[in-house]
Structure 1
C-alpha cells in the first residue's frame, strides 16, 4: 500500500503515569502517519506529551524494534534532530478473507505492505469444519512462504460475510455460506494456527484497510461500499469504525432499491442486495437479449457478469443499460448514507469493483452530488479503493495492526 499522507490531526496523549501504554501507542501512531519521519521535538508538539515522556517512549520503541532512527534533519537554530520512522519489519500480521468461493491470505508488515499472499478455491457446499481446516493450512503455508519469524507475528485477522456475532467471533448465518449457523470461526482458527485472532465483517475490514492506506479523507469520515457476492458498507466517523451493537452495522443490502424484481428473503421486493447480485445482473442482461450464458455454478455466473461488464465498457446499449441501472440503484443507497452521516468521502471496492468501475464512476458521482444536502458546504468525493482487489484480506490483517497499534481512549477509563 502507498505510504499514508500527512494527516490533519494526531491523537493527544496524557502525562499521567498510569497511561504509559496508551501514550506509547499514541507516539507510535504519530510516527506511522508521517512516513517521512518525526523528531522527538515534533512528537512532543503533536501529542502534547512532555519531552521527557516522549524521550522515554522512543527509547522503548527503539528497543522493541518498532521504530528506527533515520538520519538527522537540520535547517534551523540548534543542533540537527534525529528523525524516527516506523520499522516495517518490527511486527507483522496475517489477514484472511473468507469469501464463499475463495480464501485469500496475506501477510502484512507494520507499514501495511504485503509481503506474501495466496488464494485457494473453496467449495460453497463444503461443511464449515472442512473449509476452516483448509483456511488454517493456507495461513500456515503463506506464513512459511513469507519467511517472517513467528515471534514477529502479532495475530490473525479474519474477514467474513455477515451477519456475525462480533463479541463471540462467530459467523451466525451468512446467506452466501449455506450451513454456517453459529460457527465459531475466530476460536477455531486461533486454535488451529496458534495465533490470537480477530473476526469482523469483510466490509468493516475493507474500511479499516482504507484507513491504514491513508485513504480516510481530510475528516477521517467515510463510507466504504463493498461490492462482492453481496453488497455492504463499512462506516467510519472521525477515524472510528461504526460496528453497531452486535457488529453488523452497514447492512445496506436490504435498503429498497426500486421495488422491482423477486421477493427478498427479508420479505421486501426490490432490495438493493437482491437486485444487484451477480446472478440477478446476468439474468437482467439475458432478459435484455444478451447471452445466453451457462449459469450452472458460481464460476459460470461470475464469468457471465464479466462478459456483461466488458460489453458495457464497449458501449453495447443493452449491457450499458443493465450496468447503469445497477449503478443508479447503488447511488440511491450512497445518497441516503452520505446525507444521513454528512460524509465527504465515499469509497468503492471489493471483488466486483474492477469490472464495474468505469460505468459506476460515470453514473454514481453526478447522481449523489445532485442529492447532497450539504453541497453548499462541501462536495462529496467518490472514488475507488487505494488498496486494490485484496482489500478485504489486507483489511483483515489491518484489523490486527489497528487493534495493537492504534490509540484507543477507552484504555484510559478505570472502573470505580
Structure 2
C-alpha cells in the first residue's frame, strides 16, 4: 500500500478514535446525555454520534436507557446514554504509616469513577519491606474478591507517603523501609496488574479535582497535616509534580536554619508532634485531638498559647506556598474536624496580613481523599487501554 493510501486510511480511523474518546469523556465529566445533546456539545454530526455510539454500545462501554420527558408530555421516550459501571475496574491502595505501625487503605473503582472502600488492613510488622509487600498482595486479593468482575481489572495505583521519582522513592520519612528502588522492583514481581506509584497528597488533590469541578478553574494547594506534612499543588486542573516529583514537599523545610532551635515544618505541624505532646502534658491520650477543642472552649490559657503558635506555623507554611504560587484556595486536611473548626478563625485572622489572602477550606472527601484519588488515578492511567481495546 502506498504512503498516500496509508495516510488516507489512518485519517478516518484517527478521527473515529478521537470522537470515541470525546464522547466517553463527556459522559464521564458531564453526566448522562441523549444522542441529540451530544452532537452540539461536541460539535459532531448526528451521523458521527450515531456511529460512535453504536460502537460503544457494542463494546459494552456505554448503556442506553429510556426515560420519559421531564415535562410529562406524551411522546417518544428520550434515550439517555451513560457509562457502563461494570465495563472496567481499577484498584487503589494507600500506605498509612504512623511512628509505630502501618495500615493499608483499599478501594476499588468502577468505570464511572464510583469508588468503594474496604476496611483497612493492618500490616503485621512495621518497617519491614518484605512483610509490607506480602500485605499489599493480600490487599489485592481482598479487592479482587470484592469487585464484581475481577477479570475486568485494568490497573493499580499505590499511594506513597513520600517522594516518587521515576522508579525510586528517594525519601519516605515515616516508612523508610520503602526508600530506594528495591521495594518497587520486588513489588512489581508480585503484582499482575499495571501498577503506578504516586505521592499520597497529590492523589488527595486529584480526588478533590474529580469531586469539585470548580477547583479545575483555580490555583489551589492541598495541605496535609496528619502524621506527616506535605502539600499537593493544582494549577487549573493540572497536578504540579515538578521535574523529579518533589513539588509540595515542604515538610523538611526549616523556618530559619541559622537558629539552632528552629525545626522543620514536619516537626512543627504533624499531629503526633507538638499537639500530641500537649495532650500528653494535659494527661490525655496523645491522639485525642477532639479533646483539645474542649480545652479551647474552656479558654485554657496554656492550651490557647500552644494552639496559637501552631496556627502561626500553619500560616508560615501557607505563606511559603502562596508566595511562589499565588494561590486562590488552600484545602487543609486535618485529623480532627472538631479541632480544626476552632483553628480556622485564628488562621484567617493571621492570614489577613497577606497581600493576597487565599480562601481556607477543607477537603470534600476528608480522610478518604487519598484513597479515592489512588483508585481514580489507576482508572485514569488505564482509560486509553480500556477505551481503545480491539479498535486498532
The 8 Å contact of residues 215 and 237 in structure 2, kept in 1 or not, is answered as: no
Q: How far apart are the structure 2 equivalents of 1:119 and 1:391?
A: 15
**Shift in alpha-carbon separation, 1:156–1:124, aligned structure 2, 3 A:** same
How far off its partner does 1:319 sit? 2.6
May I ask how many residue pairs the two structures share in their alignment? 368
Match in the other structure for 2:3: none
CA RMSD of aligned residues (A): 3.3
Greater mean alpha carbon deviation, residues 121-130 or residues 200-209: 121-130
Q: How far apart are the structure 1 equivalents of 2:210 and 2:187?
A: 24
How far off its partner does 1:270 sit? 3.1
Match in the other structure for 1:319: 303
How far off its partner does 1:27 sit? 2.1
Match in the other structure for 1:53: 48
Match in the other structure for 2:142: 141
Q: How far apart are the structure 2 equivalents of 1:185 and 1:353?
A: 32
The superposition leaves residues 253-287 of structure 1 with CA deviations (integer Å, 9 ceiling, x where unpaired) of 23444779976xxxxx332222112343146526x
- 2:282 corresponds, among 291, 295, 306, to 291
5+ long unaligned stretches in structure 1: 1-14, 264-268, 294-299, 408-416
2:150 is aligned with 1:159: no
Q: How far apart are the structure 2 equivalents of 1:81 and 1:348?
A: 43
The 8 Å contact of residues 90 and 378 in structure 2, kept in 1 or not, is answered as: yes
How far off its partner does 1:133 sit? 0.7
How far off its partner does 1:347 sit? 1.5
Match in the other structure for 1:33: 29
2:104 is aligned with 1:103: yes
2:58 is aligned with 1:63: yes
2:146 is aligned with 1:150: no
5+ long unaligned stretches in structure 2: 1-10, 386-392
**Shift in alpha-carbon separation, 1:362–1:64, aligned structure 2, 3 A:** farther
* Structure 2 length-normalised TM: 0.81
Greater share of helix residues, 1 or 2?
2
Q: How far apart are the structure 1 equivalents of 2:114 and 2:322?
A: 30
Which has the larger Rg?
A: 2
Match in the other structure for 2:79: 82
Match in the other structure for 2:268: 275
The superposition leaves residues 77-110 of structure 1 with CA deviations (integer Å, 9 ceiling, x where unpaired) of x976532223333322211110212211111223
* Structure 1 length-normalised TM: 0.76
The superposition leaves residues 302-335 of structure 1 with CA deviations (integer Å, 9 ceiling, x where unpaired) of x255544553465433333333322332223223
The 8 Å contact of residues 31 and 38 in structure 1, kept in 2 or not, is answered as: yes
Q: How far apart are the structure 2 equivalents of 1:161 and 1:191?
A: 21
